[in-house]
Amino acid sequence: MSSPLLAVSGLTKRYRRGGKTIAAVDDVSFDIEPGETLALAGPSGSGKSTIARLLLRLIEPDAGRVEFEGGDFLSLNGAALRAQRARLQMVFQDPLAAFNPRASVARVLDDPLRIHGIASRKERPRRIAALLERVGLSADLAGRAIHEISGGQRQRVAIARAIATKPSLIVLDEAVSALDVSVRRQILQLLLDLQREERIAYLFISHDLGVISAIAHRVVILDAGRTAESGDARAVIDAPQSAIGKALVAAAPKLNRTSKDSDAADRQ
């Protein structure tokens, strides 16, 4: 077997709140293989976003190791870290908050191409158009301001930005949670297409097992910062072992259409 793309072990992040210290992420370990989708599931506050931010080096852990593409990702700093960031990208939940409110679509896509020296200034407009078409958008959108386009279009732009630097792994933190059902289905399909064609791995974070069952190969279920259970996505969703796993399955409307509570649970 080849070595994993990402190997996380013993990842821990504590926050001080009031007088006491809480572990937002507590000794979490998992691997992601190239081209694979691993889902991180768990209720709100279970530490999913904290793990995403730790992996992206937006915050630093108190303990643990992160190996990415065979190197110690946590020891990288400065220019070396910025360069390696091309390989590890992120898509945020709220695509409006994720972009500079003053930016245009073109600028949002131009930045990664410029920063990583992927294309010359003259070549970049063509690359931007190609990226937009790659994610199913019209190239004409380049001139628009970020706030002028729809939420679904914005999330496609976010995906275009993430793939601009040809990453091997994209972390998606609740990336489809704010979208309505039909748009969500299209975005999931886009992610699947990109994965098949470019062999990108995803760390797909969601509280919704319905969405996870549509996209993930494996799943890790978190509860209060700890791993409650993990395994093949189908197997875990069909027969959850942990209490939190069972609760999440019960709350997922698509998996449990007969439940009268499912709609209410979905809206929570």
Partner 1 sequence: MNPLRRFFRTPEAVAGAIILAALCAMALAAPLFFPGDPQAIAGPALLPPFQDWSLPLGTDRLGRDVLAELFHGARTSLAVGLAAAATALAVGAIVGTVAGFAGGGVDEVLMRITDAFQTVPSFLLALAFVSVVGPSLGVVVAAIALGAWTGPARVARAEVLSIRERDFVAGARVIGMHPLEIAFREVLPNALPPVLALSSVIVAAAILTEAALSFLGLGDPNRVTWGGMIAEGRAVLRTAPFLSIIPGVALVLTVLGVYLAGEGVVETTAVRRSLS
Q: How far is the CB of 97 from partner 1 (least distance, A)?
A: 4
Contact between residue 159 and residue 133 where contact means Cβ atoms under 8 Å apart:
no
Q: Does 83 bind partner 1 (CB under 8 A)?
A: yes
Q: Return the SS3 of 221.
A: strand
Q: How many helices (H) and strands (E) does the chain have?
A: 10, 10
Cα–Cα distance measured from residue 17 to residue 248, given in angstroms and rounded to the nearest whole number: 27
Q: Does 104 bind Mg ion (CB under 5 A)?
A: no
Cα–Cα distance measured from residue 187 to residue 191, given in angstroms and rounded to the nearest whole number: 6
Q: Does 56 bind partner 1 (CB under 8 A)?
A: yes
Query: Which DSSP category does 54 fall into?
Result: H
Q: Which stretch binds Mg ion (CB under 5 A): 9-17, 44-52, 75-83, 190-198?
A: 44-52
With respect to partner 1, which residue has the nearer C-beta, 97 or 181? 97
Cα–Cα distance measured from residue 92 to residue 49, given in angstroms and rounded to the nearest whole number: 10
E strand or H helix at 105, and its extent? helix 105-115
Q: How far is the CB of 146 from ligand ADP (least distance, A)?
A: 24
Tokens of 91: 């898509």
Interface characters, 35-74, with ligand ADP (x: CB under 6 A): -------x-xxxxxxx------------------------
Q: Does 69 bind partner 1 (CB under 8 A)?
A: no
Q: Does 243 bind partner 1 (CB under 8 A)?
A: no
Q: Does 206 bind Mg ion (CB under 5 A)?
A: no
Tokens of 9: 């072990």
Cα–Cα distance measured from residue 42 to residue 207, given in angstroms and rounded to the nearest whole number: 5
Tokens of 230: 């993990």
Q: How far is the CB of 175 from partner 1 (least distance, A)?
A: 12
Nearest in space to 245 (alpha carbons), one of 10, 43, 26: 43
Choose from Mg ion, ligand ADP, partner 1, none: what does 239 bind? Cβ within 5-8 Å by kind. Answer: none
Q: Does 15 bind ligand ADP (CB under 6 A)?
A: yes
Q: Which residues ranging from 99 to 158 are in contact with partner 1 (CB under 8 A)? A: 99-102, 111-112, 115-116
Per rule CB under 6 A, count of chain residues that contact ligand ADP: 11
Beta bridge partners of 173: 205
Q: Which stretch binds partner 1 (CB under 8 A): 37-45, 61-69, 84-92, 148-156?
A: 84-92
Q: Does 46 bind Mg ion (CB under 5 A)?
A: no
For 115, phi and psi rounded to 5 degrees? -60, -40
Query: Which DSSP category does 38 fall into?
Result: E
* Nearest 10 degrees: Cα torsion 224, 228, 231, 235: -110
Q: Does 97 bind partner 1 (CB under 8 A)?
A: yes
Give the binding site for ligand ADP (CB under 6 A). Answer: 15, 17, 24, 42, 44-50
Give the binding site for partner 1 (CB under 8 A). Answer: 53, 56-58, 82-83, 85-86, 89-90, 92, 94, 97-102, 111-112, 115-116, 161, 164-165
